[in-house]
């Protein structure tokens, strides 16, 4: 009986060892395969990141922030695929995991809807480039000099030196006026003169002013005309063009020069007047 029991125990031990050896061999190959997949996956992810970064850098509208974001996104996408392949190597059913990740991603997307809108808007702003750092722009929610364009928000410095942070979604969903994008900008100087004054004399005064200012462009040519017959004045407009960088300074200089020249030529600049009639009560 003892010999028979020993024989059965030996047979059971041999069976267990045989199955354990098979499992060890199987999982050893699985571990080795997983390690190889991880090594190759990390190498490929790095190559994909560098390739995407290099390809986007050659584009004319590329931005460093957008380039790095897309390059990192491509790398993480490859790493996720590598992670799924490693799980498959151990016989894990990845379909349910992928479904769970999809559901989790949807829940996170709904929870971070506003943040994702800002990211999407930031990507579009960085790609389409309606403005760039250093431009002065105006939107329905912000205006100022652009200091930084991020994935979530854009930083401004206002004309009075304040710091302004505007969400990208608000900028993207509103009309943007870029005052710095075009190389030339127009300025209309409107001055009212009295009805008794000589219009041709006012034209000559304006012509003398624009001819004497070196930063007033001659192409397009300055245009002087009567723009309106107001209640108390004849409005004469001098339309000139200048380089955008000079607009602020030159427009103020021309306004000052017009006042001085009109005063010197005896041209009046009337102001609105109102006649008040008093009636004596009977």
Q: How far is CA 162 from the centre of its chain?
A: 20
The percentage of residues in the chain with a pLDDT greater than 90, rounded to a whole number, is: 39
CB 270 within 8 A of CB 197: no
Give the pLDDT of residue 59. Answer: 67
CB 41 within 8 A of CB 79: yes
Q: Which domains does the chain have, with CATH numbers?
A: 2-111 (1.10.287.1260), 130-178 (2.30.30.60), 184-264 (3.30.70.100)
Task: Read off the pLDDT band of 241 (50, 70, 90).
Answer: very high
Judged by DSSP in three states, 156 sits in strand
Is 44 a residue whose pLDDT tops 60? yes
pLDDT in tens, 49-108: 888 778 777 766 666 666 777 777 778 788 878 877 777 766 666 666 666 667 666 666
Phi and psi angles of residue 33, each rounded to the nearest 5 degrees, phi first: -60, -40
Is 33 a residue whose pLDDT tops 80? no
Q: How far is CA 254 from the centre of its chain?
A: 35
DSSP one-letter code for 152: S
pLDDT in tens, 203-237: 999 999 999 899 999 999 999 999 999 888 999 99
pLDDT in tens, 162-211: 999 999 999 999 999 999 999 999 999 999 999 989 999 999 999 999 99
Please state, rounded to an integer, the average pLDDT across all residues of the chain.
Answer: 81
Q: Give the max Cα distance, the chain.
A: 147
> Does the global pTM surpass 0.85?
no
């Amino acid at each position: 009986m003892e010999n028979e029991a020993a024989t059965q125990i030996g047979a059971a031990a041999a069976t267990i060892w045989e199955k354990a050896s098979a499992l060890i061999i199987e999982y050893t190959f699985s571990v080795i395969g997983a390690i190889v997949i991880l090594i190759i996956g990390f190498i490929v992810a790095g190559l994909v990141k560098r390739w995407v970064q290099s390809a986007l850098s050659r584009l004319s509208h590329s931005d460093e922030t957008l380039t790095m974001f897309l390059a990192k996104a491509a790398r993480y996408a490859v790493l996720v695929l590598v992670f799924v392949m490693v799980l498959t190597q151990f016989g894990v059913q990845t379909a349910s995991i992928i479904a769970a990740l999809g559901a989790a991603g949807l829940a996170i997307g709904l929870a971070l809807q506003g943040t994702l809108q800002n990211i999407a808007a930031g990507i579009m702003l960085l790609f389409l480039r309606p403005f760039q750092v250093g431009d002065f722009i105006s939107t329905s929610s912000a205006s100022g000099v652009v200091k930084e364009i991020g994935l979530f928000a854009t930083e401004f410095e206002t004309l009075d030196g304040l710091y302004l942070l505007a969400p990208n979604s608000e900028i993207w969903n509103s009309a943007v006026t870029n005052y710095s994008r075009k190389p030339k900008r127009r300025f209309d100087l409107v001055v009212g003169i009295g009805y008794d004054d000589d219009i041709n004399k006012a034209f000559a005064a304006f012509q003398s002013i624009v001819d004497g200012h070196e930063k007033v462009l001659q192409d397009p040519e300055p245009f002087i005309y009567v723009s309106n017959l107001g209640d108390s004045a004849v409005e004469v407009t001098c339309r000139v063009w200048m380089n955008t960088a000079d607009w602020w300074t030159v427009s103020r200089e021309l306004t000052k020069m017009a006042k001085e020249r009109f005063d010197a030529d005896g041209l009046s600049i009337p102001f609105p007047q109102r006649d008040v009639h008093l009636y004596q009560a009977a």
